[in-house]
Each structure stands twice: as structure tokens, then as C-alpha cells.
Amino acid sequence: MKSDPAVFDKTIGALKRASQEMEGESGQVMEASAAYVTELQRLMKLYDAELKKLEAARLMDASTLKSKEQIQERKEIVQRFLKVNEDVDRFFVAGEANFKSEMARRKVSESRIDRELQAYRDSSQSRTPLIRAIRASDKRIGNSMLNVLTLLEGSWGNWNYDPKSGEVLFSDTTTLEQFKTYLDDIADSGKQQVALQKRLISIR
């Protein structure tokens, strides 16, 4: 799920302008909101960068694996992606607490914080579960990729890539079935994520 940098920039710019134009606590709340969205933007930029690397590396393409060392390199790409995906998920889990701390840092009154947090809950209750489900599907895809790479690594010398069929052939059927299961997991999670993203866009 790639983010839209232009949307982030526009939102942050609008919040910062509002923070300067509004007086008292309203301005402080807008400033806190800008800080919250800025941190989310920072995390999403990191996520987008790792996702781009993941997609460009064609990690599941066994035809380009010429040495066992390449598998470790591919694993590291997946692990970095999983790490930043986890960071984004953690941000949304603590979203309310993050927003509250930004307001408290700016000395917003408790009563106003309570009102703003209720508004936050109202606006995020339909979106956050979908966002977290997308993060979970990314995690499943990443873990299944690691499983594929671990299997190829552990069976090095007992499989080969068939250019005619475009498939990986293993010397035993049990390993082949496990390999196919992991690939199916990646495909199924990808389809699920597309459906989740469509639902999220419809809410926005």
C-alpha cells in the first residue's frame, strides 16, 4: 500500500496554516495534528522505499539465483520491509496515544484533549482496522517470502529452475508441495490486500 506524498504535503501544509491562523487551543491542536501527520509521513516514506526495493528485487525469481549467498541478500531485503511495516502498524496501534502526547506537549487542556480524542476515535474507527489488516497481510506476504527463500537455501543443490515451464523443480515432492503452499500464501494475501485497499479507499 503506497502512500501519496502530495496528499501528505497538502494535509500538513493546511494544518500548519490553520495552527497559525487559529487562536489559543485550537491553534495548538492544529499544530499537534501537523506533528502527528508529519511523523506518519516519515514512516510511510520509509515503508514506500522498502516496498519499492522489495518489488524491484524480484525476490521470488529463482531463475536469477546463481549462488547460495544471494538468498541471504534477498532475505535481508524482506526483513527490512517487515521491520518498517511493523513500525507503521505500531504507529497506528498507538495512534490515539501519539496524538494525545502531541497535544499534551503543547499544553492543551485535559477537557479539550478529551474532545479531540473522541473526534479522533470517531474518524478512525472505520479506517484503523482496515489499515491494520493491510499491515497484517504485508506481514504474511513477507513471512511467506522468507519461508520460500529459507526452503530454497536449505534445499540448495536439490532443486533447479526449469526455463521451459518457468517453475522450480525439487528432487522430492514433499518439499515441492511446501514450496507451492508458500507461493499460494503470497498470492492469496496479495489478493486479500487489494480487496482491503479498495474498502479503505471507499471509506476515505
Asked, for residue 179, whether it belongs to a domain, the answer is yes
pLDDT digits (tens, 9 = 90+) for 115-162: 999 999 999 999 999 999 999 999 999 999 999 999 999 999 999 999
Whether 47 and 79 map to the same domain: the answer is no
Asked, for residue 188, whether it belongs to a domain, the answer is yes
Determine the structural domain holding residue 39 and report its residue range. 1-56+94-125
Average per-residue pLDDT for the chain: 95
Whether 204 and 106 map to the same domain: the answer is no
C-alpha cell, 188 = 492469496
Whether 113 and 20 map to the same domain: the answer is yes
**Structural domains in the chain (count):** 2
Helix (H), strand (E), coil (C) string for 29-87: HHHHHHHHHHHHHHHHHHHHHHHHHHHHCCCCCHHHCCCHHHHHHHHHHHHHHHHHHHH
Whether 111 and 18 map to the same domain: the answer is yes
Which residues, 6 or more positions from 179, have their beta carbon under 8 angstroms from its beta carbon? 148, 151, 152, 168, 170
Whether 105 and 176 map to the same domain: the answer is no
Whether 16 and 28 map to the same domain: the answer is yes
Asked, for residue 35, whether it belongs to a domain, the answer is yes
Whether 189 and 145 map to the same domain: the answer is yes
Residue 150 dihedral angles phi and psi, to the nearest 5°: -65, -40
Whether 144 and 120 map to the same domain: the answer is no
Whether 21 and 99 map to the same domain: the answer is yes
Asked whether residue 31 carries a pLDDT value surpassing 70, the answer given is: yes
Asked, for residue 200, whether it belongs to a domain, the answer is yes
Asked whether residue 80 carries a pLDDT value surpassing 80, the answer given is: yes
Buried/exposed 57-90: b ≥16 CB within 10 Å, e otherwise: eebeebeebeeeeebeebbebbebbbebbeebbe
Asked whether residue 1 carries a pLDDT value surpassing 90, the answer given is: no
pTM of this structure: 0.92
Asked, for residue 48, whether it belongs to a domain, the answer is yes
Asked, for residue 61, whether it belongs to a domain, the answer is no
How much of the chain is in helix, strand and coil states, percent to nearest 5? 80, 5, 15
Positive or negative, the CA dihedral 103, 127, 142, 1 is: negative
Whether 119 and 131 map to the same domain: the answer is no
Whether 143 and 103 map to the same domain: the answer is no
C-alpha cell, 20 = 497559525
Whether 150 and 105 map to the same domain: the answer is no
Please, are residues 148 and 179 in contact by the beta-carbon 8 Å criterion? yes
